[in-house]
């Protein structure tokens, strides 16, 4: 990239209001040709809205300000218009049809035709080319549902290339990817840069942004705060965070003095079979324990079996249970159903808020009490006053940003939704909370708050298990970390010994290290 590179896109004083709310106020964005431009900001800062304005989802006329693209003022009326101009946006939620092949997905809505019928020959050939371009090595006839999330992401990008992309916008592209796949994706972006394709990337993973971006534009509360040149300005993570939150964050983890008590929860020889495959075991004789007041981490690569372990414990919600015992406070407990698990003080906050954590049709207060309705009911009749009070208490104590607890959860940002889910499980008075990827897709400020909540919970003598794909998070937060590999617990690492290298080694090795 040369410093004299021309400006590909300029958005000038974009203002977009929704009834009662100004989502964007006089936002400016300038993207040079051939660069990787990162947009950072907390959830609700206006990143997605800005991209919707750019891609025509919010059509011309619904906002004020100018968009100059390749030297011309453009007015996109819909998403098709922007795609024709070569602007392609790839959303966090992938838009692929699981039951169709890679080829079919690549050309969906854009099928090459010959005499009115789909020209599968051309499609196949082009598919192979496109897949090569994004470094995807798969049979083009493979069904989407049979490949991993990382590869699905690549298919999305290849799809963008099928449309002759000039400006590629990626919204949280690595949120669902593991370390390896993320790295691959970032390399790919660098490759695009070499070939002159311009990209805009929206991400919460600041280390990635620092590594890959040329320019960073920071938004806060719907305004442009600053635009940083990564090379020239010597940008690092702390610098970005300061811009995003408007203050220095002393630490990414709140201060915490562990007060660890006795072992109160213990799992022995936990073995679970995959729900559809007779052969595959997703948990093989897993054994672990949790002490009161302890935050225990579960580290592992995608598919290592951490979620499967947690869900199978939680009322056998996953797979087929084969063997294993659970002890709480020295006594064996039976956790055959979710209600059993809740009754015995277990809570499981799932990794996928939207598809299995929340009923998106519900409002905040209904969601918060959903897991223990009996607590606010008299003779099975719900007391609306109690319900409202409970929800208000959590809204205040967890600092959920919402006009009121009657609001639909669907309208909340990811961080606030996560707080609602946390409230829902805190309301069940659990002794052991299992948090599966509790900060995925959540901005820095909200992450910090959620860490705080976790620490408050252990301070009350509860145990917390945190499953996370981000090693720094586990290292910063946990008192002890188990590593998991292919359904087996391969290590038990104390906080003092928790180094990324050691953990990574155990996360990829079958041999179990001696328990200290």
Partner 1 sequence: MSRITDLQKNLFGGTASNARQFGMISTLVAIVLLFQIWTDGLTLTSGNLIAVVSQYSYILILAIGMLMVIVAGHIDLSVGSVAAFTGIVVAKAMEEYSLPWPLGIVLGLLVGVLIGAWQGFWVAYIGVPAFIVTLAGMLLFRGGNQYIGNADTVPVPEGFRKIGAGFLPEVGPDTGYNNLTLLLGAAACAGVVWREWKARQTRREMNADVAPLWVTGIRLAVMLGVIVFATLRFAGGRIGTSLPISGIILIVLVIAYSHYTRNTIGGRHIYAVGGNARAAELSGVKLKRVNFLVMMNMSVLAALAGMIFVARSSASGPQDGLSWELDAIAAVFIGGAAVSGGLGTVSGSIVGGLVMALLNNGLQLEGVGSDMVQIIKGLVLLLAVAFDVYNKSQGRFSIIGTLTRPFRRDDPAEPAAPPAPASDADKAKVAG
> Where do contacts with partner 1 occur on this chain (CB under 8 A)?
18-21, 23, 57, 91, 93, 314-315, 317, 337-339, 341-342, 348, 350, 354-363, 365-366, 370-374, 377, 380-382, 384-385, 388-389, 403-404, 406-408, 410-411, 424
Q: Taking the complex as a whole, how short is the minimal distance between the CB of residue 56 and partner 1, in angstroms?
A: 13
Distance in angstroms (rounded) separating the CA atoms of residues 452 and 295: 12
> How is residue 467 written in tokens?
């499953």
Widest Cα–Cα separation across the chain: 74
> Considering only CA atoms, which of 181, 198, 176, 276 is closest in space to residue 10?
198
Q: Give 2 or 374: the residue with its C-beta nearer to partner 1.
A: 374
Residue carrying the six token digits 């910063």: 476
Tell me the H-state helices in 353-499. 364-369, 384-397, 414-426, 444-459, 471-477
Q: Give 101 or 416: the residue with its C-beta nearer to partner 1.
A: 416
Burial 244-253 (b: 16+ CB within 10 A, else e): bbeeeeeebb
Q: Taking the complex as a whole, how short is the minimal distance between the CB of residue 24 and partner 1, in angstroms?
A: 12
Q: Give 51 or 134: the residue with its C-beta nearer to partner 1.
A: 51
Q: Give 434 or 503: the residue with its C-beta nearer to partner 1.
A: 434
Q: Taking the complex as a whole, how short is the minimal distance between the CB of residue 277 and partner 1, in angstroms?
A: 19
Q: Taking the complex as a whole, how short is the minimal distance between the CB of residue 357 and partner 1, in angstroms?
A: 6
- In 252-382, DSSP assigns E strands to 263-273, 281-291, 295-300, 320-328, 331-333, 346-349, 377-378, 381-382
Q: Give 424 or 480: the residue with its C-beta nearer to partner 1.
A: 424
Q: Taking the complex as a whole, how short is the minimal distance between the CB of residue 344 and partner 1, in angstroms?
A: 12
Q: Taking the complex as a whole, how short is the minimal distance between the CB of residue 221 and partner 1, in angstroms?
A: 15
Q: Give 83 or 294: the residue with its C-beta nearer to partner 1.
A: 83
Q: Taking the complex as a whole, how short is the minimal distance between the CB of residue 378 and partner 1, in angstroms?
A: 11
492, 294 Cβ separation under 8 angstroms:
no
> Considering only CA atoms, which of 153, 31, 158, 66 is closest in space to residue 106?
158
Structure letter (DSSP) for residue 297: E
Helix (H, G, I), strand (E, B) or coil at 41: coil
Q: Taking the complex as a whole, how short is the minimal distance between the CB of residue 275 and partner 1, in angstroms?
A: 13
Q: Give 137 or 380: the residue with its C-beta nearer to partner 1.
A: 380
Distance in angstroms (rounded) separating the CA atoms of residues 338 and 314: 6
85, 76 Cβ separation under 8 angstroms:
yes
For residue 182, give the H/E element and its range. helix 179-194
Q: Give 159 or 372: the residue with its C-beta nearer to partner 1.
A: 372
């Amino acid at each position: 990239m040369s410093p004299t590179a021309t400006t590909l896109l300029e958005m000038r004083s974009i203002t977009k209001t929704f009834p009662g709310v100004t989502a964007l106020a006089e936002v400016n964005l300038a993207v040079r040709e051939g660069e990787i431009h990162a947009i950072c900001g907390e959830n609700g800062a206006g990143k997605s809205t800005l991209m919707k304005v750019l891609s025509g989802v919010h059509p011309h006329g619904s906002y004020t300000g100018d968009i100059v693209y390749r030297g011309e003022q453009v007015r996109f009326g819909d998403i098709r218009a922007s795609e024709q101009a070569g602007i392609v946006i790839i959303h966090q939620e992938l838009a692929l049809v699981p039951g169709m092949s890679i080829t079919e997905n690549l050309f969906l809505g854009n099928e090459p035709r010959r005499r009115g019928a789909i020209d599968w020959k051309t499609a196949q050939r082009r598919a192979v080319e496109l897949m090569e371009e994004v470094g995807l090595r798969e049979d083009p006839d493979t069904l989407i549902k049979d490949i991993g999330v990382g590869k699905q992401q690549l298919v999305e990008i290849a799809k963008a290339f099928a449309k002759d992309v000039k400006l590629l916008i990626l919204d949280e592209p690595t949120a669902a990817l593991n370390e390896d796949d993320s790295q691959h994706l970032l390399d790919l972006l660098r490759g695009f840069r070499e070939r002159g394709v311009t990209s805009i990337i929206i991400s919460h993973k600041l280390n990635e942004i620092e590594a890959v971006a040329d320019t960073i534009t920071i938004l806060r509360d719907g305004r442009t705060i600053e635009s940083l040149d990564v090379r020239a300005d010597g940008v690092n993570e702390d610098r970005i965070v300061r811009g995003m939150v408007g203050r220095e964050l002393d630490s990414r983890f709140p201060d915490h003095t562990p007060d660890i008590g006795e072992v109160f929860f213990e799992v022995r020889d936990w073995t679970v079979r995959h729900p559809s495959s007779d052969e595959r075991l997703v948990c093989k004789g897993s054994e672990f324990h949790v002490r009161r007041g302890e935050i225990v981490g579960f580290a592992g690569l995608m598919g290592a079996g951490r979620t499967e372990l947690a869900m199978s414990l939680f009322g056998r919600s996953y797979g087929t249970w084969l063997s294993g015992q659970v002890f709480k406070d020295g006594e064996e407990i039976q956790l055959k159903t979710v209600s059993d698990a809740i009754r015995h003080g277990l809570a499981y906050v799932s990794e996928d808020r939207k598809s299995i954590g929340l009923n998106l049709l519900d409002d905040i207060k209904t969601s918060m009490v959903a897991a223990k309705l009996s607590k606010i009911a008299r003779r099975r009749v719900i007391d609306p006053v109690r319900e409202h009070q409970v929800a208000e208490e959590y809204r205040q104590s967890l600092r959920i940003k919402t006009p009121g607890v009657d609001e639909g959860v669907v309208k909340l940002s990811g961080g606030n939704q996560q707080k609602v889910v946390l409230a829902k499980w805190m309301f069940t008075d659990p002794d052991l909370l299992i948090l599966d990827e509790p900060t995925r897709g959540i901005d820095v400020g909200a992450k910090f708050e959620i860490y705080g909540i976790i620490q408050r919970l252990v301070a009350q003598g509860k145990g917390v298990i945190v499953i996370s794909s981000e090693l720094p998070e586990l290292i910063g937060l946990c008192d002890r970390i188990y590593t998991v590999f292919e359904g087996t617990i391969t290590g038990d690492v104390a906080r003092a010994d928790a180094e990324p290298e050691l953990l990574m080694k155990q996360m990829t090795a079958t041999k179990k290290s001696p328990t200290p």
